[in-house]
Structures are given as structure tokens and as C-alpha cells.
Amino acid sequence: PGIYVCAKCGHELFSSRAKYEHSSPWPAFTETLREDSVAKRPERPGALKVSCGKCGNGLGHEFLNDGPKRGQSRF
């Protein structure tokens, strides 16, 4: 339980309350902690490239409509 932070700069990214089990080997979250926690840019249809909102460290992707509930994203 707690807050997940950027490994490079310590910026707060996700709350453990938004974490859920997914078939991928990486942690999965339904939402960021705050609106400015991450920066996003389009990469391909259905996926956005996600980076730390403070230092730009690469964090992976936001997969649109792939969350645990209909219409939710998966980070």
C-alpha cells in the first residue's frame, strides 16, 4: 500500500488504490495520482506513450479501453 513514484526523480505517479491484477507481468493501474503525474503522447491507435510528468523518464504506455471496467484505461 502507498504511492508509486518515478524511479529517476521521485515524482508521485500512482496510488496503490488504483492498482489491479492484470495478465501482463508489469503493475497495472486504472488512473494516475494527479493530472500532472504523467505526460502522454500518441504512439499508435489505442496506446499512448507515458512518461514522468516531472523529469520525462519513460514509464510505458496507457492502453485505452483495456482497464478492468468498460471504458477504463490501463497504465
Residue 14, domain CATH:
2.170.150.20
Helices (H) and strands (E) in the chain, counts: 0, 7
pLDDT, position 40: 97
- Kindly state whether residue 66 falls inside one of the protein's structural domains: no
Mean pLDDT to the nearest integer, 43-52: 96
Instruction: Determine the 3-state secondary structure of 16 from DSSP.
Output: helix
Assess whether pLDDT exceeds 90 at residue 24: no
State the residue range of the domain holding 53. 1-61
- Kindly state whether residue 36 falls inside one of the protein's structural domains: yes
pTM assigned to the model = 0.88
Hey, which of 7-16, 22-31, 61-70 has the most confident mean pLDDT? 7-16
- Kindly state whether residue 71 falls inside one of the protein's structural domains: no
* Cα(40)–Cα(53) distance, integer angstroms: 9
- Kindly state whether residue 53 falls inside one of the protein's structural domains: yes
